[in-house]
């Protein structure tokens, strides 16, 4: 049936077929209605799995390879549960049932991320006339299994951890993370150019030794948010640990010779290359085991939680803790960070020197 004409005068024809004349007429009426309503015509044989692969291949071209790999891993759940389903026949009820099934085995945050992947997959397919509407947007995300709760070290456990780390090449890393609250991805991106171990005592506004937490290993090299950028004073234990660490790194540089990668990283491999999260986790597990802790119960990110807890126990105000962590307010801890570059923050270093006084050289 001719339903209209293009600006060039060419006929716009819609065709439909069916096993019976009645079915054919019904299918034709639907296509005419879609044309009149301005709706796209969905492709009949296009599956969810095909839509997923299209999104992974062409929809993430501006993302880092690690981001693509992470999304590909999440999409395995989609392909396993819904991949064979024709996209045009997918219903909101089917998606709801599938999400509930996922929630029995996955954490809420993982179910949320899988849902977001499917939503983007179908949105892209709809924009390319593969399906008429996005039924995923009509669904909610169910509560999944409880995730692993974060926790913090007690003062005694923190002291034991620092003691156990002294013989490790990760010692300075553990000290900085625990005593300044810097995130693991921020420390792995820290360069010596952003470290001042002498401070500026002769300035009009004297400053103690400090680190500039201005970068991370995230895509683009910036911190978690722009508000995370901050400059933080280093406690005395941290200064000593970094001096020793730099000496050991100089020895690594001489030993590596031409194989050394001059990336200026504070925490690097024996040839100067960047550490990845797996490197840090493995070394940290060995330290926790040596400290008498269960390695399966602790991760490097919990050093930051311990930093906040120890400062709070040491009498530091919540507002000062938020400043030291780069938080924009006490009610948004760990989530929202200050926009402006902070001056050197002294409270944390002073408090940590007091809390760990018995371990400071010359104390």
Based on the domain organization, do 240 and 192 belong to the same domain?
yes
pLDDT by residue (tens digit) across 239-279? 999 999 999 999 999 999 999 999 999 999 999 998 888 88
pLDDT at 90: 92
* Helix (H) or strand (E) segment spanning residue 195: strand 195-196
Tell me if the pTM is above 0.75. no
pLDDT at 338: 28
Residue 148 lies in a domain: no
Q: What's the rounded mean pLDDT across residues 27-41?
A: 72
Which residues are tagged catalytic?
183, 224, 304, 327, 337
Enumerate the H helices of 136-235 as residue ranges. Answer: 155-165, 171-180, 184-188
Report in angstroms the alpha-carbon separations of 3 from 13, 35, 42, 106.
6, 8, 18, 49
Based on the domain organization, do 69 and 31 belong to the same domain?
no
Residue 283 lies in a domain: yes
Predicted confidence (pLDDT) at residue 138 exceeds the cutoff of 70:
yes
CA distance 287 to 296: 12
Count how many residues are written for the chain: 363
CA distance 162 to 76: 41
Based on the domain organization, do 211 and 276 belong to the same domain?
yes
Based on the domain organization, do 62 and 87 belong to the same domain?
yes
Question: Which CATH number belongs to the domain containing residue 207 in this structure?
Answer: 1.10.443.10
Based on the domain organization, do 250 and 207 belong to the same domain?
yes
Based on the domain organization, do 212 and 78 belong to the same domain?
no
Poorest-confidence range of 166-170, 212-216, 323-327, 343-347? Answer: 343-347
CA angle 62, 66, 70 (to 5 degrees): 105
Based on the domain organization, do 18 and 70 belong to the same domain?
no
Predicted confidence (pLDDT) at residue 340 exceeds the cutoff of 70:
no
Residue 150 near residue 140, CB atoms below 8 Å: no
Q: In 3D, which of 98, 125, 104, 325 has the Cα closest to residue 227?
A: 325
Structure letter (DSSP) for residue 176: H
Residue 145 lies in a domain: no
- Residue-number span of the structural domain to which 89 is assigned: 48-138
Residue 87 lies in a domain: yes
Predicted confidence (pLDDT) at residue 355 exceeds the cutoff of 70:
yes
Query: Hey, which of 193-197, 228-232, 352-356, 357-361 has the most confident mean pLDDT?
Result: 193-197
Predicted confidence (pLDDT) at residue 142 exceeds the cutoff of 70:
yes
Residue 78 lies in a domain: yes
Based on the domain organization, do 223 and 159 belong to the same domain?
yes
pLDDT at 117: 95
Spell out the residues 6+ positions from residue 188 whose beta carbon is closer than 8 angstroms to its own.
216, 217, 265, 267, 274, 275, 276, 277, 280
Predicted confidence (pLDDT) at residue 44 exceeds the cutoff of 80:
no
Based on the domain organization, do 348 and 288 belong to the same domain?
yes
Give exposure, 105-127, as e/b (b: 16+ Cβ within 10 Å). ebeeebbbbbbebbbbbbbbbbe
| Domain count of the fold of the chain | 3
Based on the domain organization, do 190 and 313 belong to the same domain?
yes
Residue 266 near residue 192, CB atoms below 8 Å: yes
Question: Which CATH number belongs to the domain containing residue 63 in this structure?
Answer: 1.10.150.130
- Give the DSSP per-residue string, 245-261: HHHHHHHHHHHHGGG--
Question: Which of 95, 112, 138 marks a domain boundary?
Answer: 138
First to last CA, the chain: 92
Based on the domain organization, do 241 and 132 belong to the same domain?
no
Based on the domain organization, do 249 and 300 belong to the same domain?
yes
Query: Is residue 63 very low, low, confident or very high in pLDDT (cuts 50, 70, 90)?
Result: confident
């Amino acid at each position: 049936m001719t339903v209209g004409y293009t600006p060039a005068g060419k006929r716009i024809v819609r065709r439909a077929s069916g096993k019976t004349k009645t079915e054919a007429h019904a299918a034709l009426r639907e296509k005419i209605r879609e044309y009149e309503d301005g709706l796209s015509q969905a492709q009949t044989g296009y599956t969810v799995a095909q839509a997923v692969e299209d999104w992974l291949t062409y929809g993430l071209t501006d993302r880092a390879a690690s981001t693509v790999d992470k999304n590909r891993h999440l999409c395995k759940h989609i392909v396993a549960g819904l991949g064979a389903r024709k996209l045009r026949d997918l219903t909101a009820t089917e998606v709801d049932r599938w999400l509930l099934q996922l929630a029995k085995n996955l954490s809420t945050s993982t179910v949320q991320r899988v849902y977001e992947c499917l939503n983007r997959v179908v949105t892209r397919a709809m924009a390319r006339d593969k399906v008429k509407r996005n039924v995923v947007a009509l669904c909610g995300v169910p509560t999944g299994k409880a995730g692993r709760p974060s926790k913090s070290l007690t003062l005694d456990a923190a002291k034991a951890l620092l003691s156990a780390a002294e013989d490790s090449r990760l010692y300075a890393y553990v000290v900085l993370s625990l005593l300044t609250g810097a995130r693991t991805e921020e420390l792995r991106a820290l360069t010596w150019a952003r470290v001042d171990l002498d401070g500026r005592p002769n300035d009009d506004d004297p400053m103690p030794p400090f680190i500039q937490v201005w970068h991370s290993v995230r895509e683009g090299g910036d911190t978690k948010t722009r508000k995370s950028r901050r400059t933080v004073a280093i406690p005395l234990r941290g200064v000593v640990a970094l001096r020793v660490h730099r000496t050991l790194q100089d020895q690594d540089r001489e030993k590596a010779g031409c194989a050394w990668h001059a990336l200026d990283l504070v925490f690097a491999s024996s040839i100067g290359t960047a550490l990845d999260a797996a490197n840090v986790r493995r070394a940290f597990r060995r330290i926790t085991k040596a400290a008498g802790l269960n390695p399966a119960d602790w991760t490097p990110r919990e050093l930051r939680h311990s930093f906040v807890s120890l400062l709070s126990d040491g009498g530091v105000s919540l507002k000062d803790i938020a400043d030291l962590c780069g938080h924009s307010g006490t009610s948004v801890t760990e989530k929202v960070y200050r926009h402006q570059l902070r001056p050197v923050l002294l409270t944390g270093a002073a408090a940590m020197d007091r809390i760990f006084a018995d371990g400071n050289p010359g104390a």
